[in-house]
A and B are shown apart, each in its own frame.
Chain A
Amino acid sequence: MRKKNDAVEKALILLEQDSLPSEQQKDRMLAHIVATSEAEQTSSVVRLRQEKMLSGFDRLRQVVFAYPWRVAFAVSALQAAILTLLFGTQYTNLFLAFIGG
C-alpha cells in the first residue's frame, strides 16, 4: 500500500516539475517581454514625432474634415460681417440679385 502511494507521489512531483518553466524557457520569456516593450516604446515615440511633423495644412484639413458645417459657417460669418461693414447693402443685394434673379 505504502509503496503504491510513493509511486503516485513521485509521479505527481514529476508532473509538477515538468509544468514549471525551465531556466532556458524563463530567459526566453524575459527576452520576449523586453523586446515587445521596447518595440512599443519606439513605435509610440515614432508616432509622436509623426504627429509633430504633420504640417499646418494637414492639421487644417483634419479640422475641416472633422467639422464641415461648423467651419463653413464660421468662415461665412466672418466674410458676411466684414464685407457688409465695408460695402453695406451694395454687397448684400448682390446675393439677392443672384438668387432671386
Chain B
Amino acid sequence: MRMFLEALNHPAEALRVKPRRIAWLLVAVTITVNAVIGPLMQYFWGEFKREIDIVHMLTVALAGMLSYLLIGLVLWAVSKLLGSTLTLMNHIDAWGITFFPTMVCAVVVAVTEVFFYVFWNNSVWGMLAGFVFVGVLFWKTILYVIYLREFAGLKGKRFFGAFALVGILILVLAWLNAYAGCMTPVL
C-alpha cells in the first residue's frame, strides 16, 4: 500500500525504482474493468439488456494485453532511436506506473455508459464527468512527459521528437483499441 501511494504521488521516483508488480497490477485492473466489469454493469443495470458474451470479453482482454505490449514496443523503439539505452523489458515494467489515470478513465467510462441518463442534459453531473475526464487526460499527459524526460532520459530536442512521434503512434493505437472494442485504450 505504501509503495502504491508512493507511485501515485511521486511517479518520477517510482519510475526509477520500477515496481513491476504495481505497474502490472494497474494494467490488469484497467483491462479487467474494460473487458469484464463494464459488460457486467451493462448487463445488470444497463438500459438495453445486453447478454453476457464471454468470447467478446476474452477478445477485449486479449486486445488490451496486446495493446500494452505494443505501446511498450513503440516506447522502446522511439527511445532507442533517440539514444536511450533502456531495454524493451524496462519499458514494459515501467509504463504501467502511468496507468493510474487510465484506470480511473476506465471506471468513468463504464459508469457513464451504464448510467447515461444521469449525466445527459444534467449540468451538475455532466460537469462532474467532464471534470474527472479532462483531469484524467491532463494527468496522463503529465505522466507521459515525466516518463519520457525522467525515465527514458530524453531532454531538449530529443524529448520533443519522442513526444510527437510516440503521440502520433498513441493516437493510431487508440483508434485500433476502439476498433477492437476496448472502450478505454490500454495505452
Name A's B-contacting residues (CB within 8 A): 64-69, 71-73, 75-77, 79-81, 83-84, 88-89, 91-96, 99-100
Q: Closest A-chain residue to B131, C-beta based?
A: A80
* Contacts of B103-123 to chain A: CB distance below 8 A: 108-109, 112-113, 116, 119-123
* CB-based closest 3 A-B pairs: A92-B126, A76-B135, A72-B138
Q: How far is the CA of A79 from the CA of B183 in the complex (A)?
A: 24
B5–chain A nearest beta-carbon distance, Å? 12
B interface list, Cβ under 8 A from A: 8-12, 100-101, 108-109, 112-113, 116, 119-123, 125-136, 138-139, 141-143, 146, 150, 183
Given contacts A89-B126, A93-B120, A93-B121, contact A73 B112 (CB under 8 A): no
Sample of 11 more A-B contacts, CB < 8 Å, known A81-B127, A92-B127, A95-B130: A65-B12, A73-B135, A73-B138, A76-B138, A84-B130, A92-B119, A93-B121, A95-B126, A96-B112, A99-B113, A99-B183
Q: B126 to chain A: which residues have CB within 8 Å? A: 84, 89, 91-93, 95-96
- Asked if residues A92 and B123 are in contact (CB atoms below 8 Å), the reply is yes
Task: Judge whether A96 and B129 touch: CB under 8 Å.
Answer: yes
- If A88-B123, A89-B122, A100-B116 touch, whether A80 touches B130 (CB-CB below 8 Å) is yes
Shortest Cβ distance from B125 into A: residue: A92
Choose among A73, A77, A80 the residue that contacts B139 (Cβ–Cβ < 8 A): A73
